[in-house]
Amino acid sequence: MSENINNTTINWSNGHNHPKGKFGNTGIHVMNNNINSSVLKLLDKAEREHDLSIDEIVTLLKVKGDNFTMLCQRADRVRAKYHGKEVHLRGIIEFSNYCHRNCKYCGLRRDNQDLKRYQLTPQEIIEMALEAADLGYKTVVLQSGEDGYDADKIAQIIKEIKEKAGIAITLCVGERDYEEYKLWKESGADRYLLKHEVADPELYHELHPEMVFAERIKRLEWLKELGYQVGSGNITGLPGQDEVIIARDIKLFQELDLDMVGIGPFIPHQNTPLKDRPAGTVEMTLKTVAVTRLLLPLAHIPATTALGTVDPEGRQKALKAGANVVMPNVTATKYRPLYEIYPAKICIGEEAKDCRQCIGGIIASLGRVVSTDYGHSLKHGFR
């Protein structure tokens, strides 16, 4: 399969049906040679030092054509060096779509009254986690809107999943109190995801009414202090965002010394104030993934479901541009259409076992393998 991006023919296939390029079997084959020497210098520097200035990052975020292809190849090479062929799978359980927040881009926002709300019981959540473990998942992600789910119940769920399945647990339930984060860590949770979404305090406040950027960052610091493996991330292509803001996102990933970074494109949702705004592009999302990989070689970076939604090959492309994680859905099928943070989300009609099989096929087709270990942070202290 090939496509034309900015007049450069890129072969996105798995590398078995075309000659190996200069950088080995990356699956991305440069058809002509139009590499800008200043871009090449920046890529060499990023690959050697894993650090760039804001201006340098902006330059890379603006590359096109063969330079874009080269950026993805270099990120893929860094991924291969630090993470090898292994792809970690995290099974996501979307356990509640209630949310008291009103983020302007999100379909779960409280003002969207055109959505049937659901909240799973601890028993249902535990059953789904055990099913995920049976399917071979070594991590489950417990994700919800900010629904105020009882902290003690969450602690109990964590303990029971740990006791019965022994798998790693990632929480993704938004902004809560220090004491709650502490309780969950002590109950056995391993990781926490809290995307900062956009590294610009004013735009953050504009997109998240009633929310304050500094509160977000404070929580990421608490989580780190509590011993969680911490993930954050951004949305690419948000209205009002530009390359400089994305560069600041990436610098912030570095400053926070993140263990995990999630990067997905903005997808407009019909029942939100941003319904008429354009979606984020595949290219900008891939560039953000690639530069993040160059600057945070050890981080776990997922090929996001949002990218798989805007482009059927989106996750494959991300896996070839620095990503080393996929997060398939393990939520019971009947709830899936209701967790509509953005429209046309993939995997809505599938069951957990279908997604597991599908993703196994995708990973194999890229010449990669599904990891059999927990996929903890590669950073010192978690290994």
Out of ligand 5AD, ligand SF4, ligand FES, none, which partner does residue 42 contact, by CB within 5 to 8 A per kind?
Answer: none
Positive or negative torsion for Cα 271, 274, 277, 281: negative
Answer for which of 124, 180, 243, 350 binds ligand FES (CB under 6 A) is 350
CA 207 to chain centroid, in Å, comes to 20
Q: What φ, ψ does residue 58 adopt, rounded to 5°?
A: -60, -40
Nearer to ligand SF4, 228 or 266 (CB): 266
234: amino acid identity, one letter:
N
Nearer to ligand FES, 124 or 350 (CB): 350
> Rule CB under 6 A: is residue 340 a binding residue for ligand SF4?
no
Q: How far is the CB of 345 from ligand FES (least distance, A)?
A: 10
- Among residues 383, 371, 310, 379, the alpha carbon closest in space to that of 90 is found at 371
Q: What φ, ψ does residue 18 adopt, rounded to 5°?
A: -150, 160
Binding mask 141-160 for ligand SF4 (x = CB under 6 A): ----xx--------------
Answer for which of 355, 363, 366, 370 binds ligand FES (CB under 6 A) is 355
> Rule CB under 6 A: is residue 354 a binding residue for ligand FES?
yes
Tell me how far CA of residue 193 lies from CA of 92, 245, 279, 288, 339, in angstroms: 12, 21, 23, 18, 17
Beta strands in 180-278 (DSSP E): 191-193, 229-236, 260-265
Answer for which of 31, 135, 244, 358 binds ligand FES (CB under 6 A) is 358
Nearer to ligand FES, 296 or 325 (CB): 325
Q: How far is the CB of 347 from ligand FES (least distance, A)?
A: 3
Strands 8-11 and 2-5, by their bridges, are antiparallel
Give the binding-site size for ligand FES (rule: CB under 6 A). 7
Enumerate residues 6+ apart whose C-beta is below 8 A from 71: 39, 43, 60, 63, 287, 290, 291, 321
Binding mask 97-116 for ligand SF4 (x = CB under 6 A): --x-x-x--x-xx-------
Give the binding-site size for ligand SF4 (rule: CB under 6 A). 10
- Among residues 233, 211, 206, 210, the alpha carbon closest in space to that of 220 is found at 233
- Any idea which residue has 């993934």 for tokens? 289
- Among residues 246, 264, 143, 148, the alpha carbon closest in space to that of 193 is found at 143
Out of ligand FES, ligand SF4, ligand 5AD, none, which partner does residue 267 contact, by CB within 5 to 8 A per kind?
Answer: ligand 5AD
Nearer to ligand 5AD, 33 or 214 (CB): 214
Out of ligand SF4, ligand 5AD, ligand FES, none, which partner does residue 306 contact, by CB within 5 to 8 A per kind?
Answer: ligand 5AD
Strands 325-326 and 86-89, by their bridges, are parallel
Nearer to ligand SF4, 71 or 106 (CB): 106
Binding positions for ligand FES, rule: CB under 6 A: 328, 347, 350, 354-355, 358-359
Binding positions for ligand SF4, rule: CB under 6 A: 99, 101, 103, 106, 108-109, 145-146, 174, 341
